[in-house]
Amino acid sequence: MKENKISWFIGLVLLALMFVGLYALEKALPPSTMLFTILKKGVIYALIAVSMNLLNGFTGLFSLGQAGFMVIGAYTYAILTIPVNMRAMIYQYYDGGVVQFALPAIVGLLCAGLVAAFFAFLVGLPVLRLKSDYLAIATLGFAEIIRAFIQYEGLGPLTNGSNLLRRFPSFTGILYPFAAVAICVAVIVLLIHSTYGRALKAIRDDETAAEAMGINLFFHKQFSFVTSSFFAGIGGALLAMYQGSIQAATFKSAMTYEILLIVVIGGMGSITGSIIASFLFVASSEWWLRFLDNEMFIGAFKMPLLRSGFRMVVFSVIIMAVVLLYRRGIMGDKEFNLRRITQHLTGKKGVRHDG
């Protein structure tokens, strides 16, 4: 397995180079550049998309509960890390709230994942017995139930009801989210290459056969569900940091749909696909297609159709085209692999090393 070690080494070098590049970028450009917004949001979406891909692409569990676990993560983080002297102002309708301490941001992030994972464990107990579309609709339902509880007045001292939570610690540069996401994604990749990962893929390919081979279906499904939600929780917390304020009402099922579409565009069962698609998705919806929202004149001729909202129409048409015509997404279930690319370019056919 010497070659495997080399490819890991190359991967680490590339990762280090990426961070050096990001650092240089941050020094070179003013912080308000659009590129940074895209990179920050893109990398957070990448984590969430990868976490969803673990479930939908690698385990074959069609879950639509991602927004629910994100909102748990975001709220856990916010509740635990808002500075004590801010609480009276933020929880003004609830006498400063019940939580009267503040944890460091990094602990808050970890707790966000853990709490989301714990709820996923509880939700998974009944729900994972269901199959395909029933599982989808039940997880979607749970996400809505979670959202309703967070907005419930009775829990106001903890969650601030339907009011905003803000003033929690955030990040300024782009290195922080990139580092956090890189660690999380690395863990997911290691997991997929472990025996657990193989078991998950076996379940995806044929549940009955997997069970016959001695794979404990429920344990592995639950494992995948809890892990995915753990990272969705961290993703939610990072999203909260990125946005600066959170409100349960924004974590709707539409958010889950968006992430699902990212996973599909990238390719079900491809980590690198999800990451690439996240950046493409964020960049094109927030940046590259922006011009479609503004009225444009070429000479005296006013371009038809261009006005606020047209960007999203074009964008969703592109997505539909991918879903219908390009069904396997950008990467299919393959990973971005340097060796394969060099082989392709040099025309040499090497022995395939999978896994």
Partner 1 sequence: MGWLERFFPYILAGISVGGQYALIAIGYTMVYGILRLINFAHGDIFTVAGFFMVYMNATMPLYLSIPLTIILTVILGFAVERAAYKPLRDAPRMSIMISAIGVSYLLQNLMWYVTGGLAKQYPTIPWISSSVTVWVATTKIVTLVTPVLTILLVVLLQQLINHTKIGMAMRAVSRDFETAKLMGIQINRVISVSFIIGSFLAAVGSLLYFSNYATVTPTVGAMPGLKAFVAAVFGGIGSIPGAMIGAFLIGISENLIKALGYSTFSDAFTFALLIFVLLAKPTGLFGEKTIDKV
Residues at the contact surface with partner 1, assessed by CB under 8 A: 56, 62, 126-127, 129-130, 132-134, 136-138, 140-142, 144-145, 147-149, 151-153, 208, 253-254, 257-258, 260-261, 264, 268, 307-310, 312-313, 315-317, 319-320, 323-324, 327
For residue 72, give the amino acid letter: I
Question: Which H or E run contains 281?
Answer: helix 271-283
Minimum gap (Å) between residue 347 Cβ and partner 1:
34
Nearer Cβ to partner 1 (145/187) = 145
Nearer Cβ to partner 1 (56/229) = 56
Minimum gap (Å) between residue 291 Cβ and partner 1:
15
Query: CA–CA separation, 23 vs 201, rounded Å?
Result: 37
The answer to whether the CB of 232 falls within 8 A of the CB of 167 is no
Write the DSSP symbol of residue 301: E
Helix (H/G/I), strand (E/B), else coil: 294? coil
Number of helices (H), then strands (E), belonging to the chain: the values are 15, 4
Nearer Cβ to partner 1 (110/140) = 140
R_g over Cα of the chain: 22
Minimum gap (Å) between residue 56 Cβ and partner 1:
8
Query: CA–CA separation, 114 vs 103, rounded Å?
Result: 15
Minimum gap (Å) between residue 134 Cβ and partner 1:
6
Q: Which residues pair with 246 in a beta bridge?
A: 165
Nearer Cβ to partner 1 (24/209) = 209
- CA distance readout (Å), 5 to 127, 183, 196: 40, 19, 21
Minimum gap (Å) between residue 152 Cβ and partner 1:
5
Nearer Cβ to partner 1 (174/258) = 258
Minimum gap (Å) between residue 70 Cβ and partner 1:
17
Nearer Cβ to partner 1 (193/302) = 302
- Strands (E) across 219-299 are located at 245-246, 297-298
Minimum gap (Å) between residue 142 Cβ and partner 1:
7
Nearest to 112 by CA among 269, 235, 12: 235
Nearer Cβ to partner 1 (238/265) = 265
